[in-house]
Amino acid sequence: MDFEASKEKFIQTWGVLGGSWGINRTMAQIHALLLVSHVALSAEDIMEQLQISRGNANQNIRDLIDWGLVFREFKTGERKEFFTAEKDIWAVAKQIVKERRKREIEPVRKILSELKNTKTNKESDAQKHFVKMIGNIEDVVGKMDNSVEKLIKLDESAIVGTLFKIFK
């Protein structure tokens, strides 16, 4: 496989993976393109290389910036913006986990905690079971969430060290 074909394949693969990780396909493709590019690219460059519209490029670049995965750059003498990707893959993974925790886990924990206030009939098997299940789920989700919270606070070398220690 030659360079161009490999690059193309990588972009497509990263796109598919992103799709199943809460990052949409185009967003992940732009990120992939920037990851393997050794220089910053403009919106035009991205539109051309990925064959996407201006609106699409603009929206997804801004989403990537929101997620903390892409940064704006300016070149002296150039009017337009250029973009580069976060290239530390651990940082990328951490960032994604962090965002998803905020967007998904936190609201669920909030609701689970509300559900504990359900007025129940202590005589009903169905209701006793419900209360027990909600308790279990809250407990497990809470433990996972706490671990994740601590994990994303570690820096790269600490993550690798921690994973190594646990799973040696």
Partner DNA sequence: ATAATCTTTCACTACATACTGAAAGTATAA
Partner DNA sequence: TTATACTTTCAGTATGTAGTGAAAGATTAT
Of 49-108, binders to DNA (CB under 7 A) are 51-56, 58-62, 78-81
Residue from the set 54, 75, 111, 155 that interacts with its own copies by CB under 8 A: 111
Using DSSP's 3-state secondary structure scheme, residue 71 falls into strand
Residue 41 near residue 75 (C-beta atoms within 8 A)? no
Least distance from its own copies to the Cβ atom of residue 142, Å: 11
Regarding 35 and contact with its own copies (CB under 8 A), the answer is: yes
Single-letter amino acid code for the residue at 154? L
Burial of 63 (0-12, 13-18, 19+ CB in 10 A): middle
Which candidate, 30, 39, 38, places its Cα nearest to that of 57?
Answer: 30
Indicate the residue among 40 and 131 with the shorter CB distance to DNA.
40
Residue with tokens 């074909």: 5
Least distance from its own copies to the Cβ atom of residue 53, Å: 26
Regarding 155 and contact with its own copies (CB under 8 A), the answer is: no
Alpha carbon distance 14, 23 (integer Å)? 10
Distance in angstroms between the alpha carbons of the first and the last residue of the chain: 36
All residues at 6 or more sequence positions from 13 whose CB lies less than 8 Å from its CB, including other chains? 32
Q: Which residues bind to DNA, rule: CB under 7 A?
A: 24-26, 42-44, 51-56, 58-62, 78-81
Q: Which residues bind to its own copies, rule: CB under 8 A?
A: 1-3, 5-7, 9-10, 13, 17, 20, 22, 35-39, 87, 89-90, 93, 100, 103-104, 108, 111-112, 114-115, 117-121, 124-130, 133-134, 136-137, 139-141, 143-144, 146-147, 150-151, 160, 162-163, 165-167
